Structure 1
Amino acid sequence: MKVQALPADDNTCGWYHTSTPRTPRPSHRGHSEAPWVVVGAGFTGLAAARQLALNFPDDEVILVEAQEVGLGPAGRNAGFAIDLPHDIGAEDYIGDIRIARTVLKLNLSGQAYLRQQVERYGIDCQLKACGKYQAAVEERGLAVLDAYRRGLDKLDQPYQMIERETLPEHLGTDFYQRALYTPGAVLIQPSALVKGLAENLPANVTLFERTPILDVDYGSRPELRHAAGRITAGKLVLANNSFGQHFGFLQGRMLPIFTYGSLTRPLTPDEQALLGGRPYWGAIPADPFGTTVRRTPDQRLLIRNSFSFNPDGRSNPKHLQRVLQRHQASFARRFPMLPQVTFDYTWGGALAMTRNHNGFFGQLAPNVYGALGCNGLGVTRGTATGKLLADWLAGERDELIDFLLAAPGPNANPPQPFLSAGVNFNLLWGQYRAGCES
């Protein structure tokens, strides 16, 4: 079958350009065969390829990436390796306590796996185990913090509620009314992390970059074709999130939602003193349509907000100028003491969302497997599901694998044009309702 759409991300991602440059691995040419082929070198694919190589040390594992490692969605997120579950459909944002405890274990396993690789290989990705703030401005946001606090009590997880008077000691800005601080989140420079993971793969992993797959034959030995050759797999693993739809699976079950980030130039020492607060931190909004903010260890400020629905999963340049204006306004509201600070980079990045917030884990077809649909938790959830899929393929079973296999998977979406109309309306309405949280 012909692959229906190819990745096409903008070239303006600040994380990519401010991380250490690397020489991309060569594109694939000719014909190759391997017992294992993994498509997608983001967090899920890197973890799957690494663990397959460790589980099957005598087998070659081919890892195929359509773009460059670090340039795609894995290198474009806000850089939060989240530990805690956050069920936005539940009254207390925790929901079923049994499920929440298992999700917590799943997220922690992904987080621990990444920290292990960073420490083992000395990956310079600004990793900081400094927790995160969930900050609110308006009454709706404050109510969310109270509800989530009740959920965290039920889950027996630590937190600290920080009031407006003392928040500037943490964040510098006095913009927020209250924040819920949880200590378990880890902050990273995402593009630097995936670049580092790619540079330290086991010897029996062969990585090919800039090799977009154009056609797939799902025979007894799946065959991937591209412009300069083909790759035959004993078993094929899809770790390309929403692009799994374009490979013929889970069609009409995933929603490529783009969100947008801007990164400032580095703050001068005088500007750092004007800002005050802690030297690095991350704050997510109480309202899911609000603004995420980070102060990075290299003293840049990140603003991330605004959404668009791009059904083909490809970046659309027309959105960047519009969101830049929003980011400038969001920055000015939070940091009026820094009027001369400008953005160096503005970019978009895709989230592989599903309507019921469930991803897919398991077998898609004979000799074809997938871990797809991270629902905005690609750093931890993608890492965990990639590793666990490789363990399952090696015959292992445990609580987390059984949990993932038993999950219902993504719900079906309404047909077009109703889908685009409904998603775009909800995105616009959500951003409007976010008010000052944006």
Structure 2
Amino acid sequence: MQKITSLPADDALPGWYHTSPPRTPRPAHVGQKHARWAVVGAGLTGLAAARQLALNFPDDEVVLIEAQEVGFGPSGRNAGFAIDVPHDIGAKDYIGDVTTAKLVLKLNTLGQNILRGIVDQHQIECQMSESGKYQAAVGQTGVAVLEAYRSGLEKIGRHAEMISGAALPDHIGTSYYKQALYIPGTILLQPAALVKGLAESLPANVTLHEYTPITAIDYSDKVTLVHERGSITADKLILTNNAFAAHFGFLRGRLLPTFLYGSLTRPLTAEEQAKLGGKPVWGVIPAHPFGSTVRRTVDNRILIRNSFSFHTDGRPRDRYLAQFKENHRKSFERRFPMLGQVGFEYSWSGAICLSENHEGFFGQLAPNVYGALCCNGLGITRGTATGTLLADMIAGERNELIDFLTASPGPNKTPPEPFLSIGVNSVLKWGQFRAGLEV
């Protein structure tokens, strides 16, 4: 029996969760249970995997296990960009190998299409908007990034429109940026509302247990998941819990649990909306990867997301949230001086699972154990696609995207502690410093 050494413990005020429609959580598991399939982690990847397993095996029960409440964890804490186009920051044109980039585009588009279909079928209210995204630069270095990215996108047949700084206020209401590349195709949405809606619309043969953190696990002929009120034994286990997979014994020293921090304003008044101007819904991604992500939402709030920290146990630290809220305020006031009286209603941290070589894991981890792990910041589209495709692969299906994912070398091995934390946090601090006014 292997003990789980770290459990999720996210902070209390994720704005998306508290401003999304309420739902009644499913009861925690109590007693002993056996099922053919168990999925650990009811985020976007786990919800997709459980849904597709249930469709592929309609006579089997699929048990989906969540340590916290659906929508409260990382899947409900991101910036709400469902992105289709690749963005390889290691390549000069941000595209790299064209064949690989086209497959990434196809994978991300699959994730979008799956979500569109479910949202439409079940009428999930998640503020889904086909708004595209603005990749925006403050200085000349960032403008060069945009030019390179536009060139790369053309190689994979995607058109993007360069917008001058003078024209940008008509789009996003601020004159802060020097230039922006508008890329159609990205879907903007309310992530916690989406995840809650996905949970409420699962097939009837999926049993969801929330508030059921797994504290120990036994890998024998069958897999037994132990928690404080009982146990669940499954013929097959699917891990969709990202960096916490390391605490289940897999990909140790290969996953980088990194936290980003967000703040969400109160709704703007009609007068404030008029002062801001621009389009009613938009999203900005920074040209520099350590800059600020900014959104105007359907319900007229402004999101600021920036600042990073790294914690190997996958748990945030309150002191960083308090510190980084000040960064959010400065970033907001630089961009929106006309909204100086608008305060933040919510501030939170949210984990993303990264790897040193920007590769995820997809496939079999051990006998009777499978995983779709590490989305490297593209959890909405990639998580949805890989969770679905993993369930299809387990059912015996093979296709171009499954072959692409299984051919990945997976996440690289990283240095041991304490060198890992020292190195990663140094890179994060240096990156944020170099981002300058894009933060």
* Deviation at residue 11 of structure 1 after TM alignment: 1.1
* Deviation at residue 34 of structure 1 after TM alignment: 0.5
Letter in 2 for 1:76: R
* 2:126 equivalent in structure 1: 125
- Alignment of 1:242 onto 2:269: no
Runs of 4+ in 1 over 6 A off after TM superposition: none
Give a deviation string over 1:28-58, Cα, whole Å, max 9, x none. Answer: 0000110000000000000000000000000
SS of the residue 2:414 aligns to = coil
* 1:409 equivalent in structure 2: 410
* Deviation at residue 154 of structure 1 after TM alignment: 1.1
* 1:58 equivalent in structure 2: 59
* 1:317 equivalent in structure 2: 318
* Deviation at residue 313 of structure 1 after TM alignment: 0.4
* Deviation at residue 64 of structure 1 after TM alignment: 0.1
Q: How does 1:135-150 map to 2 (within 5 A)?
A: 135-150=136-151
* 1:44 equivalent in structure 2: 45
SS of the residue 1:333 aligns to = helix
* 2:163 equivalent in structure 1: 162
* 1:308 equivalent in structure 2: 309
SS of the residue 1:391 aligns to = helix
Q: How does 1:167-316 map to 2 (within 5 A)?
A: 167-316=168-317
Gaps of 5+ in 2: none
* Deviation at residue 289 of structure 1 after TM alignment: 0.2
* 2:31 equivalent in structure 1: 30
* Deviation at residue 315 of structure 1 after TM alignment: 1.6
SS of the residue 2:337 aligns to = coil
Letter in 2 for 1:228: R
- Alignment of 1:355 onto 2:359: no
- Alignment of 1:106 onto 2:107: yes
> 1:22, 1:41 → 2: CA distance?
15
Give a deviation string over 1:272-324, Cα, whole Å, max 9, x none. Answer: 00000000100000000000000000000000000000110012111111111
* 1:392 equivalent in structure 2: 393
Letter in 1 for 2:159: P
> 1:283, 1:433 → 2: CA distance?
19
SS of the residue 1:27 aligns to = coil
The percent identity for this pair of structures is: 66
SS of the residue 2:3 aligns to = coil
SS of the residue 1:21 aligns to = coil
> 2:314, 2:357 → 1: CA distance?
19
Gaps of 5+ in 1: none
Q: How does 1:370-385 map to 2 (within 5 A)?
A: 370-385=371-386
SS of the residue 1:315 aligns to = coil
Give a deviation string over 1:339-368, Cα, whole Å, max 9, x none. Answer: 110000000000100000000000001000
* Deviation at residue 74 of structure 1 after TM alignment: 0.2
TM-score, normalised to structure 1, is 1.00
Give a deviation string over 1:210-241, Cα, whole Å, max 9, x none. Answer: 00000000111000000000000010000000
* Deviation at residue 138 of structure 1 after TM alignment: 1.2
Letter in 2 for 1:154: K
* 1:421 equivalent in structure 2: 422
> 2:390, 2:6 → 1: CA distance?
25
Give a deviation string over 1:41-97, Cα, whole Å, max 9, x none. Answer: 000000000000000000000000000000000000000000001111011000000
Letter in 2 for 1:157: R
